[in-house]
Structure 1
Amino acid sequence: MSNYSRADATFGAYAAALGLLVAVLLVMAFVVSARNEEHIPRVDYGSDAQELSRTAEYTVLVPEDLPEGWVPTSSRLDAEDGQESGGAAPAAWTLGFATPEDMHARVSMSDAEPERFVARTTEHGDPDGESEIGDATWERYLNEGEEQRSLVRADEGGATVVVTGSADYKELETLAGSLRPRE
């Protein structure tokens, strides 16, 4: 015959309940931590760059050798902003990035009327000086209300290029400095 102790029975039930509670909390902590990891969608913009190079009447610029942490998140060809002469081929391209500082930046290029394209792309930003990037001078634009900075260059190849976003000028200059003619 064994000795039954009410204290032992209560302690066993308490330990089992506590173990179950700890297991549930660990599962919940794992689920919450897995959801907190940012999953930035990455796009391959090669086909858009190729299509634009084939159809546009200007030199297409693509980013090369961006430092680690730049993630291409969107790519869009747009015929609406394209050639003012009514050409059907896509002549405008916007390529978006998540930056290493968790901001957003995008490159837009088009052969649309430059003044209208710049106003729309910079969201009617105001002139804010210049940036020297390599051997090119880029005009700076700032839209304080939208917290958007932009770098603008009228490309001698017939297109206007705008690098814009919530990123600071330093990151925008990095993106602008990486642009090379697509071969």
Structure 2
Amino acid sequence: MRRFTQGFYGYAVALFVCLAGAGLFLLVTPQSREQHVPRLEYSITVANFGHEVPYGVWAPQRDPSGWVPNSNRIAQGESGARVLYLGYATANKQHAMFVQSDEQPAAAFASRMANTDKAVGTQQIGGVAWEQRYREDKNQRSLVRVLPEVTLVITGTADWPELAELAALLHQRAKG
């Protein structure tokens, strides 16, 4: 009995028992092979942003089907203006983000959010024109709409139809 508790054999037996226990634990522990994207509600962030800015805030009427809102924040822009960010994991497992601000100059804000100032076309969504921008090295597509009081940008790795789906759901909430 003493030879199994000392020396090399004792070490080997202890190691085997530990590995067998760890293997058994891994076998009986349930594991998911599917990626879980945490859902993060943004309605309070949008309401708070509305209290901080002098214009009616734009937000989706509802989330696009199959999309998961997974990030949101209010930040300080380069000119001191407030910036609202709403991030999503799309139904096709891509990333999309809706950003808005009254930061001036509007063109500089839009270019910073889109990571490019080069327009590649326009797209009609809900009867209004959105400027399309594309940065190939980042596989980043952006839709930009500059309004008199606010600039709207939808950007990410999502394809054009997905970005348009989010743009079509945007509406402006009355200030008040």
TM-score by length of 1: 0.75
Please state how far the C-alpha of 1:91 moved relative to its aligned partner.
Answer: 2.0
* Equivalent residue letter for 1:58: Y
Is 1:39 aligned to residue 36 of structure 2?
yes
Please state how far the C-alpha of 1:116 moved relative to its aligned partner.
Answer: 1.3
Please state how far the C-alpha of 1:41 moved relative to its aligned partner.
Answer: 1.2
Please state how far the C-alpha of 1:125 moved relative to its aligned partner.
Answer: 4.9
Aligned partner (choices 113, 118, 138) of residue 146 of structure 1: 138
* Aligned counterparts, 1:10-159, within 5 A: 28=27, 31=30, 33-34=31-32, 36-81=33-78, 84=79, 86=80, 91-113=82-104, 114-156=106-148, 158-159=149-150
* Distance (Å, rounded) in 2 between the aligned partners of 1:29 and 1:122: 47
Please identify the structure whose Cα radius of gyration is greater: 1
Residue of structure 1 equivalent to 2:157: 166
* Equivalent residue letter for 1:149: R
Q: Which runs of 5+ in 2 are unaligned?
A: 1-19
* Distance (Å, rounded) in 1 between the aligned partners of 2:62 and 2:102: 25
* Equivalent residue letter for 1:63: P
Residue 127 of structure 1 contacts residue 140 of structure 1 at CA under 8 Å; is this kept in 2?
yes
Residue 106 of structure 1 contacts residue 163 of structure 1 at CA under 8 Å; is this kept in 2?
yes
Total equivalences in the alignment: 152
Q: Which runs of 5+ in 1 are unaligned?
A: 1-20
* Equivalent residue letter for 1:66: D
SS of corresponding position for 1:78: strand
* Distance (Å, rounded) in 2 between the aligned partners of 1:79 and 1:47: 18
* Distance (Å, rounded) in 2 between the aligned partners of 1:29 and 1:118: 51
Please state how far the C-alpha of 1:109 moved relative to its aligned partner.
Answer: 0.3
RMSD of aligned Cα (Å): 2.1
* Distance (Å, rounded) in 2 between the aligned partners of 1:67 and 1:150: 17
